Structure 1
Amino acid sequence: MKNLNLKIAILTIITVISFNYNAFSQVGIGTVTPDASSMLDISSTKKGMLAPRMTTAERVAITTPANGLLVYDISENAFYFYQSSTWVKMESESASRVNHKIIKSAADLSEELAAGGGSKYLLTTNTLYEINGTVDLAYSIDLNNAYLIGLDTNEDILVKPGGTMFVSSKGGTIKSLTLKAPGGTIFNMTGNSTNSFVFRDSIVVNSASIGTISGYGLVFFSIVQFSGNTTGITYSNISDLLLSNIGWFSNNSGTYETLTGTFDIVEKQGGFSELNGAAIGLDVSSNPTVGKGILTGASFSGTSTEYVKKYTVGSYSGYNFNNAWTVDCPGLPVESDQLASGNIYYDGDITSGFRQSVSNGTAFNLIGNSNSNTTTAVNLLRMSSPQNNKLTYLGKKTRTFQINATLSVRGETLSGNFYAFFIRKNGSDSLIETNTLMRVNNTSDISSNAISGTVELAPNDYIEIWGQRLIGSGNTSIAVFSLNMNIK
């Protein structure tokens, strides 16, 4: 009996030891040597592992699924795994993006180098090239209507130590990259009116020159930062140039942005230009032809004395642009049709004035007959004074103006005569509401007359100060000692 009990005890101990060993060791199916890193190692050269299969309704009905739970959805013919309170579909390779290439070094562009004849990387049209890490380029890239992107601007970097980084006769897109061309140029790109070039969410640093972009139908820069560059960029002959939230730091030098040639639209909104020393933010001194220019919300600041190198033709004293532009930026004078204004004044001898002949009741322009009325124009914006006693509106939009004018007048003869002085538009339209009256009591009195009113002017409309005798006859004259007209 004792021997039987001893055998039972020994068998029990062996069973427990064996159970504990199996509970904490790897399990192998089809192998007696499961991998040490795996709890379950299935080995076969003829069969696979079959995961639980179920419909979508059955999958989503699983109660409290654990993170990492894996099933095969037969409704969608796809694997799903559970993660952070949601089912995640595992896409197959056939469902991933086509025309997609990851570039980790210049060696990954060997096919493109061959396509470029061994002298440049000719990218494949409509292909997405994803830059992963820092790529040192031995040749220029011809964008060729491809898409060149990174996932992390600070980590995905293109470097071209000399020469030009991008050359292209077509367009394309560059996004989320840092570009460096120490001793070289970033862009030398010339397209045509059917091409578009998009550059956004990127950084350009430590380059000798940003370069030139010309000839495109559309160029769109958005959220691009420039830092530590020696020379800026020139835009030339582009139909639509759109610049949004571009940042130029003070460690850039030279001229940041230059416009040359002809543009349908130039629109620069937001962003900043920090300008120190001899740096220039925007150069329009070549007098580019712009159908519509909009420069708003971009901040110009720094110690530079010339934020904008102004138009040499068509701009106004104290301003930078011509009539095609609307400008409203911190650091720059505001320019728009709504602020169009001007002033003229008689610049002759105030003690003798000028003489104006009067004939019966005929209206007369106060240009003078002897000691002619010579006027000087000042404070002009979207206005000109092509001849004495005239202000011409040069803006693009029809708008209403406030007019204020003053005259100091003496009747030379014929006491008792009455005169009206008023504003006339375009030489024929008398603005009766601006009438001011003068009665000649004696020929030694000088009358001070104020004229005010409003007028609607279209582009190239003009105004003048006119007079007319209301009571009296025969030929006479008046003397005008001062004349001033302001419009705004």
Structure 2
Amino acid sequence: MINKPTLQNHKTFLLLFFFLLTLAGNAQIGIGTTTPNATSILDITSTTKGMLTPRMTTVQRNAIATPADGLTVYDTDLKVFYYYSTGTSAWVPIISGVPGRINFKRIKSTDNLATVLATELANGGGTKYLLTANTLYEINGSVVFNLPIDLNNAYVQGLDANEDVISKANGNLFEGANGGSIRGVTLVVPNGLVFNLTGAATQNLIFRDSIVAGSNTVGTISGFGLVFLSIVNYSGNANGVTYNNITQLLLSNTAWFGNNQGVYEKLTGTFTLVEKQGGFSQVEGTAVGFDVSANPTINGDAVLESVVFTGATTAGYVKPYTGTGTFTGYNFTNSWTVRAAGIPTEGDANAVGDFAIDYPVGSGAATSFTTTNPSNTVKVLGTSTSANLFRFSTDGGISNRLKYLGKKKRIFQIVGSISFQVPAAGTYIIYVAKNTAVISQYKIYGRGQVNGDIIVLPLNASTELVNGDIVEVYAQRYTGGTADIIVPNMTLTIR
């Protein structure tokens, strides 16, 4: 049996027909509005609800087969809208500004550490917080830790060192064999160590824009490939920090206030490079600002520059090297270049050496030549003393000899004078010699007229010296009698 169309069916069909004609004619759809915007094909209007695009994980998004150009989805893993570009055959993020970090945790003063750092506590075996590598941990407010922190190549950062504080009542705050980065925080351990770190040469530690205050001991940092501290203030700490066996140690603009005690900074072991630049050490009471008395080895170079040493305890500014390689009145070895207010300037550029022969009137030291003329060239003899030796020595106490002990090659100016008495009329030549070879272009001639004449000649030369080079004065008889010359006085200065 076939049903006959009713009048109502006819009305419904006609309404649908005219609706489709409207869509075909206007190509517009309005949802929540009867007057869609003339420039839109779809106008969704609401003041209480939004529009949801398809939401999916990164895996699901990448699994879409042959996506259309411009296809848009929201990635729930990365929290970013993506559209597909057939021009690049890739999904492109729709972002304004910098995309949010994936590896990120914020630790607030009100947080329960066992909850917010549950993974880190489990990874630390319940005895420490082993941070997740390459993850940024933001400190928000004053956070009190009950267990040590193992940086594990993570980043710990506050936004304001005066407001963002990490503290621990006792024991170690940061410990372990891994480096990482600490920035923009205040560290406080009243009854323990801020740092107890022993890493490998492949590990780096960066600590900057921070404060260490009110702690028993700043601690020990040992074995790292790079340790870089910049703009760190120390206040009210009972003991300082020891750096040990670090490949590259860079200390920039660190400030030690006079309310610190003990040894502020101490170097032990072996370093390839040390640079301490800027900042100040205010030394009071029995404190020591910078301690190298353990004779740390510097395989490369060390620089201490533009640091201000101040305070009432001037003897405590630097506790110097001891033993071999030191110079009276100075603090460091020839591996160091030092230019800092409050302590002596040191460097190869400041190297100086001198000696003087000075016999009583009527006496002197004899220097002999061969009987032929011109004679052989020989070292001028006599017993000398030295008043100023810095990065120079007399080479084991050998008279009339200066040995350069600096590490850097440089050109020196040599000045002095010699007085000698001739045995008969004759002409003599005086030389400055380097490593027993005369520097002939700086030779000077002198002639005596009769037996007993005293010839006085200036000594002037310039020469390049490297570590271990020696400088002496040589003489030669060109004409005259064959007896000795007598030298009552000779001086030589190299600078």
TM-score by structure 1 length? 0.78
State the partner residue of 2:214.
206
State the partner residue of 1:384.
393
| Distance in 2 separating the partners of 1:349 and 1:162 | 71
State the partner residue of 2:321.
311
State the partner residue of 1:99.
103
| Distance in 1 separating the partners of 2:123 and 2:349 | 55
1:297 is the counterpart of 2:306? yes
3-state SS of 1:202 partner: strand
State the partner residue of 1:331.
342
| Distance in 1 separating the partners of 2:169 and 2:355 | 58
| Distance in 2 separating the partners of 1:181 and 1:348 | 66
State the partner residue of 2:412.
401
State the partner residue of 1:34.
none
1:426 is the counterpart of 2:428? no
Structure 2 residue identity aligned to 1:483: M
| Superposed CA offset, 1:330-350 (max 9, x none) | 222221222211111125545
Kindly indicate whether the alpha-carbon contact (under 8 Å) linking 1:350 and 1:482 is maintained by their aligned counterparts in 2.
no
Matches within 5 A, 1:151-230: 151-230=159-238
- Deviation of 1:311 (Å): 1.2
| Superposed CA offset, 1:4-45 (max 9, x none) | xxxxxxxxxxxxxxxxxxxxxxxxx9xxxxxxxxxx984xxx
CA distance change for structure 1 residues 169 and 347 in 2, over 3 Å: closer, same or farther? farther
- Deviation of 1:210 (Å): 0.6
Kindly indicate whether the alpha-carbon contact (under 8 Å) linking 1:293 and 1:326 is maintained by their aligned counterparts in 2.
yes
3-state SS of 2:118 partner: helix
State the partner residue of 2:331.
320
Identity percentage over the alignment? 44
Matches within 5 A, 1:414-453: 415-428=424-437, 430-453=438-461
- Deviation of 1:445 (Å): 3.0
CA distance change for structure 1 residues 91 and 335 in 2, over 3 Å: closer, same or farther? closer
CA distance change for structure 1 residues 258 and 348 in 2, over 3 Å: closer, same or farther? farther
- Deviation of 1:90 (Å): 7.1
| Superposed CA offset, 1:226-278 (max 9, x none) | 11111111000000111111111111112111111101100111111111222
3-state SS of 2:468 partner: coil
Structure 2 residue identity aligned to 1:217: G
Matches within 5 A, 1:141-156: 141-156=149-164
CA distance change for structure 1 residues 278 and 152 in 2, over 3 Å: closer, same or farther? same
- Deviation of 1:438 (Å): 2.6
State the partner residue of 1:364.
378
TM-score by structure 2 length? 0.77
1:484 is the counterpart of 2:485? no
Structure 2 residue identity aligned to 1:363: T
After superposition, the CA RMSD in angstroms is 2.5
State the partner residue of 1:243.
251
State the partner residue of 1:268.
276
State the partner residue of 2:122.
114
Kindly indicate whether the alpha-carbon contact (under 8 Å) linking 1:317 and 1:379 is maintained by their aligned counterparts in 2.
no
Kindly indicate whether the alpha-carbon contact (under 8 Å) linking 2:425 and 2:451 is maintained by their aligned counterparts in 1.
no
| Superposed CA offset, 1:431-479 (max 9, x none) | 23332333222333333221112112122211101100011254x1011
CA distance change for structure 1 residues 167 and 350 in 2, over 3 Å: closer, same or farther? farther
Matches within 5 A, 1:36-115: 42=48, 48-50=49-51, 95-104=99-108, 105=111, 106-107=113-114, 108-115=116-123
3-state SS of 1:318 partner: coil
- Deviation of 1:180 (Å): 0.4
CA distance change for structure 1 residues 423 and 141 in 2, over 3 Å: closer, same or farther? same
| Distance in 2 separating the partners of 1:351 and 1:180 | 74
Kindly indicate whether the alpha-carbon contact (under 8 Å) linking 2:425 and 2:481 is maintained by their aligned counterparts in 1.
no
1:410 is the counterpart of 2:421? yes
| Distance in 2 separating the partners of 1:457 and 1:217 | 33
CA distance change for structure 1 residues 124 and 329 in 2, over 3 Å: closer, same or farther? same
Aligned residues: 406
| Superposed CA offset, 1:357-410 (max 9, x none) | 12231111012xxxxx22222321221111111111122222111111112211
